[in-house]
Amino acid sequence: MRAQSIDHLALLPLYLAAAGAVLALFAGRAAKAATGIGLAASAAAAVWVGLGPDRATFAVDEWHSYVADDAAMGAAALFAALALLVAGLSGRQAGEYWFLLAASAAGGIALAGARDLVTLIVAVETLTLPLYVLVAKPGREGAEAGVTFLIASVTSSATALMGAALLYAAGGTVHLGGLPAGLDGAPAGLTAAGLALLLGGLAFKLAAAPLHAWAPLVLERAPLPVAAYLASASKLGGAVAVIWIVHFGLTDGAAGPQRSAGIVLAVLSVASIAVGNLAALVQRRTVPLLAWSGVAHAGYALAPLAVLMTAAGRTDATAAASAAFAYAVFFVLLEAGAFTALTAVRPGDADAGGDDGTLRMQSGQATGAVRPGVTEVHSASDAAPLKAGMPDAEASGTGADVSIRTSGFADTDYREGPSRAVVEVSAASAAERRTSRAPLESGGPPRSDLSRTATGGGVHVPRDGGTIQVPGEGGRIAELSGLRKSAPLPASVLVLAVVGLAGLPPALAGTFAKVAVLEVLASSAVWLAVVVAAGAVVGLAYYLPLARTVLLGRAAATGKGRFALEVTLVGLALAAVSLAPRLVLEFTTFTQ
């Protein structure tokens, strides 16, 4: 057995991100800085490696397990940059938060370079695993989100693994480069089943129907920066995994497997477009609206790949994969913009709408021992109590805001808060104690503690991801009314992102994405182009009111802009790709 020579330069972005993650565990108070530097260095390294010649390493015969070509490094840079953005939005957190974030980003970078099924699935798991912890805010709401995400994720991972196993059985190799030849002549049923399971399982990451139901619920209940990560980097991961398998594993191969994959993807795509758009139509709250519309966008991103089912489509499969990748990149940039702006204007704390803070606090106090997973890591790594200093500790001073700090990762020094706040905290916690044994079914959308107390906390709220509107909850679209006046910068970035998601100029990023997809579909699957067009029209029916509320609303929104630097950077990035789409299209265009 000969020794592998490893091209460490190709792995440099991965090393740097992983180093950032490890450093975060030991850096104490400098954890955030360590993560930030690691991720920034990783992004820069990815760009640098990507600009150089293509590299590849971990070879078996002529197939490589890890390739650092333009597409991989572009995606890697994007993973690192998105993680960096989320880090910037996260405010002050304990060391393990940064570790988990950077570890997830490292998973994404590994995924970008992965060229065999095992590396790919392990990378997807690395990308996802840290999120189990990150999505779970303390409290019942958070726990439910965490459990939902965990179960959905584990199920889909098992499905994808099963599919990969079947493909290995059929093709005799796990290398994507070897699959085209391996699957030629393999049992058609086995191949089709393997592809369906693998692609369906991976589509979970993309929140494509039918494995989409976790997204609205988890996105709404997760802390907003984590939701931003889920909606951008994590979805990019799903898209990259699917596109890599289809492009590197199928395009050169026989017609049969391609047709099977095309049919699977067409079903996923049409179902996602239909389900996502229809559900988004009835949303009254911002994050679920974006989450449901994200389901529809997953459908648009998968649509170009579905042309593999037609003979005409198989001849320009490379263009189809390029279009899908370009769409995914533009889409996650726009989603990142929307969620960044939302995070910046969400009143009170960095991670949720005001009123449910009390609820989480009480749960955090009453059930402190049950805080999912974080407590142990925290005490093991860095026991130094952080000061109770979320960025706006002074500005808030309501019970809800203080309570958030008490429920956060940091140990809170109560004496630092205003005395009134302490009183409110105790009053609120008393209220919670009264209601802490509220029936389990009260796990609906967060409600104000006033209404909760008044109704005894036992109101049955359907657990449908927040489609029920309760007066006074945070995060309603109507609360963004007049945001243009109270916080012009986030409002303009939000409008730019929303208009882009609707695919309309002047937010050209979205228009380019739509053009890329429609160009592929028009040449080989006109009916799917019509489906996409219909979906976009329906999308307008909910995006326009959202844009209108932000832009033309006459109410006085209370949201104040924060994170000015992050919002500005995202806005500039969106403007840059709108004016110079080649920044994206250069690395998303595959050459065959």
Q: How far is the CB of 504 from other proteins (least distance, A)?
A: 6
For residue 407, give the nearest of 223, 219, 150 by alpha carbon: 223
| Minimum CB–partner distance for residue 511 and other proteins (Å) | 6
- Mind giving me the DSSP string for 399-463? HHHHHHHHHSSS---GGGS-HHHHHHHHHHHHHHHHHTT--TT--SS---HHHHHHTTT------
Q: How far is the CB of 488 from other proteins (least distance, A)?
A: 10
φ/ψ region of 561 (left if φ > 0, alpha if ψ in -120 to 50, else beta) reads beta
Q: Which residues pair with 188 in a beta bridge?
A: none
Helix ranges restricted to H, 483-580:
483-486, 488-502, 508-524, 526-552, 564-579
73-to-112, 199, 574 alpha-carbon distances in Å: 7, 23, 20
CA angle (390, 393, 394) in 5-degree steps: 150
Query: Of 197 and 536, which has the nearer Cβ to other proteins?
Result: 536
Q: What residues between 514 and 553 interact with other proteins by CB under 8 A? A: 514-516, 518-519, 521-524, 526, 529-530, 532-534, 536-537, 540-541, 544, 548, 551-552
Please choose, out of 131-139, 208-216, 346-354, 510-518, the segment that lies near other proteins by the rule CB under 8 A: 510-518
Nearer residue to other proteins within complex by CB, 63 or 542 = 542
* 499: contact with other proteins by CB under 8 A: yes
98, 512, 542, 563: residue in contact with other proteins (rule CB under 8 A)? 512
Phi, psi of 186 (to 5 degrees): -70, 160
Cα 117 from Cα 126, distance rounded (Å)? 14
CB of 80 to other proteins, least distance (A): 24
Q: In the window 191-230, what residues touch other proteins (CB under 8 A)?
A: none
Nearer to other proteins, 78 or 516 (CB): 516
Nearest to other proteins of 198, 509 (CB atom): 509
Residue 450 in contact with other proteins, rule: CB under 8 A: no
Q: How far is the CB of 518 from other proteins (least distance, A)?
A: 5
Calpha distance 47→41 (Å, rounded) = 10
> What is the rounded distance in angstroms from the CA atom of residue 145 to the CA atom of residue 153?
12
Cα 45 from Cα 309, distance rounded (Å):
38
Residue 349 has what DSSP assignment? S
x/- binding map, residues 298-337, to other proteins, per CB under 8 A?
Answer: ------------------------x---x-----------
Among 93, 173, 340, 589, interactor with other proteins by CB under 8 A: 589
In the complex, least distance from residue 66 CB atom to other proteins, rounded to whole angstroms: 26
The least CB distance from residue 391 to other proteins, in Å, is 23
Closest CA to 110 of 202, 27, 179, 16: 16
- Residue 298's nearest CA partner among 258, 339, 332 is 332
Residue ranges with strand state E in 190-303: none
Alpha-carbon span 216 to 298, nearest angstrom:
13
Nearest distance from residue 587's CB to other proteins, in Å? 11
Residue placing its CB nearer to other proteins in the complex, 307 or 341? 307
Q: Which is nearer to other proteins, 430 or 579 (CB)?
A: 579
Number of residues that bind other proteins (CB under 8 A): 41
Shortest CB 500 distance to other proteins, Å: 11
Q: Which stretch in 75-83, 111-119, 229-237, 501-509 sits in contact with other proteins by CB under 8 A? A: 501-509
| Amino acid present at 526 | V
Residue ranges that bind other proteins, judged by CB under 8 A: 322, 326, 485-486, 499, 503-506, 508, 511-512, 514-516, 518-519, 521-524, 526, 529-530, 532-534, 536-537, 540-541, 544, 548, 551-552, 556, 581-582, 585-586, 589
